[in-house]
Structure 1
C-alpha cells in the first residue's frame, strides 16, 4: 500500500472526528470560523476530507470544540499519522507495508467485523495453528519469515485482552472448522481455544453451516473496521490470493457491510455455533491420538 493512500485514510478519519466534535457543540461552520479565525472555505475543505488541517488550525478547532484529555491526544496523534507512517511494531521494516498498515489500523479500531471462509480468524488462532497456516500458505518463505509472521499474529491478539478490548464479531464458514490444519492435535487445541474465546463478552462467533448453501462470503475473506463512536465502518480490509488491500469508497464499504449482515443472517446463532465447535473438538479428541 502506498504511503499516500494510508495518509488519505487518516485524513478521512480525522475529518469525520472534527465534524463529530463540531456537531456535538452544535456549532455552525460560520460560528467556528468567527471563533477561530479559520476561513470558512478552509473549514469546509477539511470536513469534506479534501485537506489536512495544519497544526495551528487543528489546535484552534480542538479548543473551540472543548476537546481535551485522552480524546485530544488521540486526535493529535491521528493528525500526525496523516503526514507519516507511525507504525508501533518493532519489526515493521521486515513485514510488507500492507500488513503493517493493517496491524496499525486494527489496533486503533473499536470494533471489527470479520468474515473468514477457510481459516479460523487470526485474532483467534493458537500459535501452533498460526504456524501451520502461515507455513502452509507461504511455502517458499524461509522459516525466519514464518516465525516473524507468527509472532506478529500473536502480538495482534493483545487487542482482545487489553483494558478496553476491541469488539470482535466473526462470521465464519463451517469449512474453517472442519479443515485439519496442522493435524488433529493442533486442530483440537484450536477449536478448544476458539470455544473459550467465543464465550468472552466482547467476542461473538457465528458459523455459517454447509446447509446454508451459497452465501455472499464465498468470493473471499474481509474485515470491516469501525473506529470509536463512528456510525459506519470506515475501512475495509480484503484478503485475497492475488494481494491484500484497503477499500474506503462508500460504495465498496456499503456493499461489504450488506454482505456481512447477510452472512450473519445465514449463520447459526452464537450458542448453536459454540455447540458445533465443541462437538467437532470432542470428535477430534477421540481420534486425536492417531492424527
Structure 2
C-alpha cells in the first residue's frame, strides 16, 4: 500500500489548526497572507503535505505562538520528516518537488499522461540516464546522477501497491531516446511493468486525428477522501493545481486523451511487437 501520512504529521497539522483557531483566523485568511491556496492549508492541517522550517516559523509568528508552542511544532515537524527519504538529496529537490514527492508517496492512485517522455515511474535506469545526460537544465554530471537515483527510488510506490494509470504516445515506442539499446531496455521495462496488477499502460496511436496535450499531466487521488491534486509539466518544470476546478478540468482532459488510446491489452501487444523489431 502507499504510505499514509505519518501520525506525527497528523499531530503537526492538528496543532497548527489549534493555534490558528486560537488566533481566530480562518484558513482562507492564512492562505491569502502567505500566498497559498486554501486547499494547501486544508492539506497542511490534515497532515497531507510537508512543511519547511521557514514556513513553520512564519505560521508560528502569524498565530502568535509562544516559545513552548513553537518548540512543540518543531519537534512534531522533525518527527514528521522521518522516512522522507528524498530530503537526503538536498538542493536538487526544490520546494515544489518536495511537495510533489510527498503527495506521490501518499497517493492511493496516480494518473499520468505523458506525450513526450516516458513517465518517471515507468522509466528504466538507462532511459533516465539518457534523459538527464542531455537535459539543458542539468549541466552538472553529479546532479544528473543524483536525479537518476532519485527517479529510481521514487518507483518504490509501485511495488508498494499504488495504482498507476499511464497514457503515453506511440511516438515513445519509436523514438530511440539514448540510442537503440536504450529504447530496447525501456520497451522491455514497459512490458514488464504492464504485467503488474496495479499498473495500467495505454498507448495513443499516431493515427489519432485529435490534438494531443503537449507536456505532462499528473493526477493524485487519496484513499482518505482528501481533495485530489493535479500537476502540469512542461519545459519550465512542474506546476501544482489545488483548485478543484482546475483538477476537474485536468481529469476531463486525461479522460479525453485516454479515450483515444489502445486498450491496455492492445497497448502491451504493440509494445511487444515494437520490441521484437529492434
Report the TM-score when normalising by structure 1: 0.68
- The 2-side partners of 1:49 and 1:269 are apart by 43
Question: Residue 156 of structure 1: which of 148, 154, 157 is its match?
Answer: 154
What residue is the counterpart of 2:131 in the other structure? 133
User: Is the CA contact 2:49–2:99 (under 8 Å) kept in the aligned structure 1?
Assistant: no
What residue is the counterpart of 1:248 in the other structure? 242
Question: Residue 120 of structure 1: which of 108, 118, 121 is its match?
Answer: 118
- The 1-side partners of 2:209 and 2:153 are apart by 35
- The 2-side partners of 1:140 and 1:148 are apart by 11
- The 1-side partners of 2:100 and 2:90 are apart by 11
Q: Does the alignment pair 1:213 with 2:213?
A: no
- The 2-side partners of 1:275 and 1:80 are apart by 39
Question: Residue 188 of structure 2: which of 192, 210, 224 is its match?
Answer: 192
Q: Which has the larger radius of gyration?
A: 1
Q: Does the alignment pair 1:181 with 2:177?
A: yes
What residue is the counterpart of 1:225 in the other structure? 220
- The 2-side partners of 1:130 and 1:77 are apart by 34
Question: Residue 107 of structure 2: which of 89, 106, 109 is its match?
Answer: 109
User: Is the CA contact 2:109–2:221 (under 8 Å) kept in the aligned structure 1?
Assistant: yes
What residue is the counterpart of 1:78 in the other structure? 47
The structural deviation recorded for 1:49 is: 5.0
Say what the alpha-carbon RMSD is for the aligned residues.
Answer: 3.2
What residue is the counterpart of 1:60 in the other structure? none
- The 2-side partners of 1:139 and 1:246 are apart by 20
- The 2-side partners of 1:200 and 1:186 are apart by 22
User: Is the CA contact 1:129–1:182 (under 8 Å) kept in the aligned structure 2?
Assistant: yes
Q: Gaps (5+ residues) in structure 1?
A: 1-9, 19-37, 53-74, 285-291
- The 2-side partners of 1:189 and 1:251 are apart by 39
What residue is the counterpart of 1:278 in the other structure? 272
> How many residue pairs align between the two structures?
222
- The 2-side partners of 1:219 and 1:79 are apart by 29
